[in-house]
A = this chain, B = another copy of it.
Amino acid sequence: MDDTHSAPIDLATIVAGIYEEMKPRLGEGKVADYIPQLARVDPAQFGLAVVTIDGTVHSAGDAAVPFSIQSISKAFTLTLALGKHGESIWRRVGREPSGSAFNSIVQLEAEQGKPRNPFINAGAIAITDLILAGHTPKELIGEILRFLRYLANDDEIVIDRDVAQSEAATGFRNVALANFMRSFGKLDHPAEHVLGVYFHQCAIAMNCIQLARAGLFLANGGTSPLTGHSVVSRQRAKRINALMLTCGHYDGSGDFAYHVGLPGKSGVGGGILAVAPGKASIAVWSPGLNQNGNSLLGSLALEKLASRTGWSVFAG
């Protein structure tokens, strides 16, 4: 019985039930094929993990299978950038939905090299450029990886070097975006350095349980219940959630808000991190994508989850 939440929520049943409903549809959608490492992933996979703010984990399906987090990394590098540079980062990148595809260059020209938001590719590259200050690319790659291990409280998280190298070899559009920003004086470091980091952050491999744990601070006012450490302030956690809701799914952000109603960030690897403020952090993964480049079954599962839990931020 959807759309009601007066009864106590049985998360275990809900998570298991969603997995059962997804099973017959495994393999739907189109797997990202721009690099061989993503193209050869078995599409018939689906994982779901819900970590409530008391640390309880509910998971189902392929929740322990690692996948390439791709653009989900943008939420974490944004967090790092806000920590290092505070609100000054908004001189380099905007906070508005883009109204165009994730890799569009048109907006960049109209706005003189300033990307619309930190979650389109150009914006994420600009963010990585900002946190590269004072580091070598190698050092920064290490720092980002350590940050994710710290957030997830799990040292097993690694970078898939094959994915990183393959992206570097074929990422012409991102090379174009970085050089375009540089031509406007909006990139401080050589494009190769910034992209060296960017391609590695996208190639971090995590499973749903790790990812949901890593995002838990956003559901808990900035503090990770896993470690008790404050990652960001309460205000900043709210703001990152706001950005994920308005901009987290490229040109499908409005649709995701309409159907799911949770802040989230998706990646072309098929993963989505979603946040139910005050309630839980959720990670879902299924490689087949919808027309906006977001996980087809992942989006659907989150819609069901939000409906059955009443966790939509828009519910009265």
Residue ranges of A at the interface with B (Cβ–Cβ < 8 Å): 2-4, 53, 94-100, 104-110, 116-117, 172-173, 175-180, 182-183, 191, 218-222, 233-235, 237-239, 241-243, 245-247, 251-255, 257-258, 261, 263, 277-278, 307, 312-316
Alpha-carbon distance A177/B2, docked complex (angstroms) = 39
How far apart are the CA atoms of A313 and B261 in the complex, in Å? Answer: 10
Shortest beta-carbon distance from A207 to chain B in Å:
24
A98-B99 contact in complex given A247-B254, A313-B313, A315-B277, C-beta closer than 8 Å = yes
Which one, B191, B234, B315, contacts A316 given CB within 8 A?
B234
Expressed in whole angstroms, the minimum distance between the Cβ of A265 and any Cβ of chain B is 14
Contact partners of A179 in chain B: CB under 8 A: 172-173, 175-176, 179
CA distance A191 to B253 in the complex (A): 31
Partner of A173, one of B183, B246, B307: B183
Partner of A220, one of B107, B243, B277, B316: B316
Roughly how many angstroms separate A94 CA and B251 CA in the complex, as a whole number? 11
Which residues in B have their C-beta under 8 angstroms from that of A257? 242-243, 245-246
Check if B316 sits within 8 Å of A277, measured CB to CB.
yes
Judge whether A253 and B97 touch: CB under 8 Å. yes
Q: Which of A180, A222, A237 has the most CB of B within 10 A?
A: A180
**Would you give 27 A-B contacts (Cβ < 8 Å), ordered by A?**
A95-B255, A96-B255, A97-B246, A97-B254, A99-B100, A104-B109, A105-B105, A105-B108, A106-B110, A173-B179, A173-B180, A175-B175, A175-B179, A175-B191, A176-B180, A179-B179, A218-B316, A219-B316, A221-B315, A237-B316, A238-B261, A239-B314, A242-B257, A245-B257, A246-B257, A277-B315, A313-B314
- CA separation between A257 and B177, bound complex, in Å? 27
Most B CB contacts (10 A, CB to CB) among A105, A251, A253 go to: A105
Closest to A251 in B: B96
Task: Give chain B nearest CB distance to A118 CB in angstroms.
Answer: 11
CB atoms of A315 and B234 under 8 A apart: yes
With A97-B97, A245-B257: A182-B191 Cβ-Cβ less than 8 Å:
no
CB within 8 Å for A3 and B234 given contacts A172-B179, A179-B176: yes
**Given known contacts A254-B94, A254-B97, A257-B242, A176 and B172 CB-to-CB distance under 8 angstroms:** no
A78 to chain B, nearest CB (A): 12
**Of the residues B97, B110, B243, B316, contact of A53 by C-beta under 8 Å:** B316
Shortest C-beta distance, A284 to chain B (Å), equals 19
Q: A106: which of B106, B177, B235, B312 is its contact (CB, 8 Å)?
A: B106
Tell me the bound Cα distance from A234 to B308 in angstroms: 13
Shortest distance in angstroms between A223's beta carbon and chain B's nearest beta carbon? 9
Instruction: Report the separation of the CA atoms of residues A313 and B244 in the bound assembly, to the nearest whole angstrom.
Output: 13
